[in-house]
């Protein structure tokens, strides 16, 4: 089976899933979408109102901002892979509960493994805490890690993780929006390799002095 087929099979399982109580509230489960060979993967929290209606991730107001930010990387939505930690919408957009995350996250784990992106961008607290806990690292919140690069070992593979704020949080908060845009400039440098070029220069200067 090729990667697309494996992703389709995972999506099929999600659409029929009843492993946690959230299935009772959903219109459509939202498995995720994008390029099976994506170099970069974005992980949000859970579907919202519009995502639940359409069965697609990040199609509401936060999605519009995410799409703009992806464009700022010189990429299209079809170039990347976009999904969430939890695949069904929690009622009234409440936070997903630990038992729901525990029930649903094996799907995300499989998606990450199949796609094996070079970079994972976690959007907001939930996906950030989830990936760090998978790597065996306890963090208290997102502000201590956002906008920085981490090499995490998730079970059996290594990946660069760059946490940033959730686009929904940035919609009505100019300070968070600035930070989110700055983080995407940083992500672009990592994508293009400029980040390592700059790092090399810094090392050379340190060695010089």
Instruction: Say how far apart CA 151 and CA 130 lie, in whole Å.
Output: 15
> Is 24 within 8 Å of 90 (Cβ atoms)?
no
Instruction: Say how far apart CA 12 and CA 26 lie, in whole Å.
Output: 15
DSSP state of 152: E
The one of ligand SF4, ligand URA, none whose footprint includes residue 14, by CB under 5 to 8 A per kind, is ligand SF4
E strands present in the chain? 33-34, 40-44, 81-84, 119-123, 150-154, 157-164
Q: Minimum distance between the CB of residue 102 and ligand SF4, rounded to whole angstroms?
A: 9
Closer of 48 and 147 to ligand SF4 (Cβ): 48
Q: Does 66 bind ligand SF4 (CB under 6 A)?
A: no
Question: Angle formed by the axes of helices 174-192 and 194-208, to 10°?
Answer: 80
Q: Minimum distance between the CB of residue 45 and ligand URA, rounded to whole angstroms?
A: 4
Binding string, residues 95-114; x marks residues near ligand SF4 by CB under 6 A: -----x--xx----------
Per CB under 6 A, the list member of 162, 168, 190, 191 interacting with ligand URA is: 168
The one of ligand SF4, ligand URA, none whose footprint includes residue 103, by CB under 5 to 8 A per kind, is ligand SF4
The one of ligand URA, ligand SF4, none whose footprint includes residue 57, by CB under 5 to 8 A per kind, is ligand URA
> Is 33 within 8 Å of 44 (Cβ atoms)?
no
| CA–CA distances in Å: residue 178 to residues 43, 56, 67, 89 | 20, 27, 16, 28
Closer of 169 and 195 to ligand URA (Cβ): 169
Q: Minimum distance between the CB of residue 207 and ligand URA, rounded to whole angstroms?
A: 43
| CA–CA distances in Å: residue 128 to residues 14, 106, 125, 163 | 22, 16, 5, 6
Q: Which of 9-17, 44-52, 190-198, 200-208 is the region at the interface with ligand URA (rule: CB under 6 A)?
A: 44-52
Per CB under 6 A, the list member of 86, 168, 170, 190 interacting with ligand SF4 is: 86
> Is 60 within 8 Å of 70 (Cβ atoms)?
no
For ligand SF4, the binding residues in 3-62 under the rule CB under 6 A are 14, 17-20, 22-23, 29
Per CB under 6 A, the list member of 84, 111, 128, 164 interacting with ligand URA is: 84
Residues of the shown chain interacting with ligand URA in the complex, contacts defined by CB under 6 A: 44-48, 51, 57-58, 62-63, 84, 168
């Amino acid at each position: 089976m090729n990667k697309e087929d494996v992703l389709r099979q995972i999506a099929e399982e999600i659409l029929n899933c009843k492993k946690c109580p959230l299935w009772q509230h959903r219109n459509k489960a939202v498995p995720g979408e994008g390029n099976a060979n994506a170099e970069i993967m974005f992980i949000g929290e859970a579907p919202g109102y519009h995502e639940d209606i359409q069965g697609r991730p990040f199609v509401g107001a936060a999605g519009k901002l995410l799409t703009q930010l992806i464009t700022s990387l010189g990429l299209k939505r079809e170039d990347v892979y976009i999904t969430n930690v939890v695949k069904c919408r929690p009622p009234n957009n409440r936070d997903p509960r630990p038992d729901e995350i525990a029930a649903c996250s094996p799907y995300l784990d499989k998606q990450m493994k199949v796609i094996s992106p070079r970079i994972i961008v976690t959007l907001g607290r939930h996906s950030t805490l989830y990936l760090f806990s998978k790597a065996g690292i306890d963090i208290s919140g997102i502000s201590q890690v956002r906008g920085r690069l981490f090499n995490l070992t998730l079970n059996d593979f290594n990946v660069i993780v760059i946490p940033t704020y959730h686009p929904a949080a940035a919609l009505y908060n100019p300070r968070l929006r600035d930070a989110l845009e700055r983080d995407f400039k940083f992500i672009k440098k990592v994508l293009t390799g400029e980040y390592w070029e700059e790092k090399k220069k810094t090392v050379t200067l340190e060695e010089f002095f």
